[in-house]
Amino acid sequence: MRRPARLVAVVVALASALVLAACTAGGGTDNGAGDGTDASVTVGLVLEPTDLDIRATSGAALDQVLIDNVYEGLVSRTADGEIRPSLATTWDISDDGLSYTFHLADGVRFHSGDPMTVDDVVWSLSQVRDNADVVEHAAFANVTGIEATDESTVTLTLSAPDSNLLWNLSSRAGLVLEEDATNDLSTSANGTGPFTLTGWKQGDSITLDRFDDYWGEPAKVSEVVFAYIPDFTAAIGAVIAGDVDVQTAIDPNLRSQLDGVDDVSVVEGRTTDKFTLAFNNKRAPLDDVRVRKALRLAIDHQAIIDATGGAGVEMGGPIPELDPGYEDLTDTRPFDPDQARALLAEAGHPSLSLTLTMPSFYGSTVSNVLVSQFKDVGVTLTVKNVEFATWLNDVYTNKDYDLSFVDHLEARDFGSWANPDYYFGYDNPEVQRLYAESVAAVDTGVAAEKLKEAARIVAEDHAADWLYNGLTLTAIRDGITGFPTDSPNARLDLSELAVS
């Protein structure tokens, strides 16, 4: 949760009016020869962007629709986090990790029709580095030089090795925009991707059309309509009625309503969503590791997953399976209420009262289970549901809380545990050292091992409890192929989307 604006977007979207885009069922509409290349596919999403400015507006709703489809960067990444070529077909890294040389693809054109030049690339990256107001400006903290070596080569020079650089370049920081473009970024887009943005009906839908002059493999459908359906029950209704071809973020507790629906399959996908029970590590009695451990041992994690509809997997530490450094750390917190009671007694708290402060839009399912399970070990848990703005002020900013519950969905956000000023209040010099060494590592394998070592320390310190790693459910109509189902809430690369 590096950017709390992402959660602000959740609140805005859930408050939006429900207006479905006009669409047709049966695996997309094919207006051509029947091979699917002229098909229009309607995709139901939950979160609508508040603004289209990819440089200035935070929130995953923008990344989800625009990155890879409309805008492209030097590199991109697969759904499981592997870096792959994009506008740079190859790249070279110096032995000391201080120089990255990118070789640009030929024949790239912007949607304006103008060719992409090496100057556009240098200008785009320099905007991120030099302007503190640009989203992900901090990603280029180690970048000291951005230079066009020749007409098809760009070299980045670093002040220190940064194992996260390629990952950062696969995000907004690496996107290439046209230097001389005059379009309003808040309402339009001019990228190099396989789709052009042709319409945004606010509160309703965003439409992408295939870009016929795309430099790479052309899109396999002619049009994609993103219909914004913030109400989960209405989304199920849209699937059943055939109003959408694909629907993301199906509520797990409503999944059974799609059982037996002809020509619709529900697919489980992996995510980096970490539904986290945060402990205020600087506030007594949570500054005592025995108390923190007792709380973790008191939790039946599978019962929580079952209560939320089963769309989750157990995780015992701060790094999910899709991120570097993952290790199964569930051994650090077996379900053991007897040991939890003993630890609380040893710590001088055979009975204990704590308050759980959480954003109200998460509902009461998880908190109700926690109240019951904590009561069994002598802990009285009072639940305080607040508006998100209040949570941001009281918990995130002022750190005035005992326990909190929030979904930390960002990938590769382990750095929060190496930041003693973050709202967790966790301060461990060894973890900070290992994280710094991971970032500075030239070898990605070494970087991952450092993270793995640091993550175990955090888990064994019981700095928080990671209740579960969320799974995402996507309903897909028969005949639709190539729709990404892993982490679709973060970005949706539709280059393989097809209708048969």
Q: Domain map of the chain by residue range?
A: 1-68+193-263+478-500, 271-472
Predicted pLDDT of residue 3: 36
Predicted pLDDT of residue 396: 94
With respect to CATH, is domain 1-68+193-263+478-500 assigned 3.40.190.10?
Answer: yes
- Specify the CATH number of the domain 271-472: 3.10.105.10
Burial of 320 (0-12, 13-18, 19+ CB in 10 A): buried
Residue whose structure tokens are 């790094």: 319
- DSSP secondary structure code for residue 59 in this structure: S
* Alpha carbon 5 to its chain's center: 13
- Residue 339: CB atoms within 10 A of its CB come to 15
* Alpha carbon distance 109, 356 (integer Å): 52
pLDDT in tens, the chain (500 residues): 433 333 333 333 333 332 223 333 346 765 444 467 899 999 999 989 989 999 999 888 899 999 999 999 999 998 888 899 999 999 999 999 999 999 999 999 999 999 999 999 999 999 999 999 999 999 999 999 999 999 999 999 999 999 999 999 999 999 999 999 999 999 999 999 999 999 999 999 999 999 999 999 999 999 999 999 999 999 999 999 999 999 999 999 999 999 989 999 999 999 999 999 999 999 999 999 999 999 999 999 999 999 999 999 999 999 999 999 999 999 999 999 999 999 999 999 999 999 999 999 898 999 999 999 999 999 999 999 999 889 989 999 999 999 999 999 888 999 999 999 999 999 999 999 999 999 999 888 999 999 999 999 999 999 999 999 999 999 999 999 999 999 887 889 999 999 99
User: What is the value of pTM for the model shown?
Assistant: 0.83
Predicted pLDDT of residue 9: 34
Predicted pLDDT of residue 59: 80
Name 66's Cβ contacts closer than 8 Å, sequence gap at least 6. Answer: 52, 54, 189, 191, 197
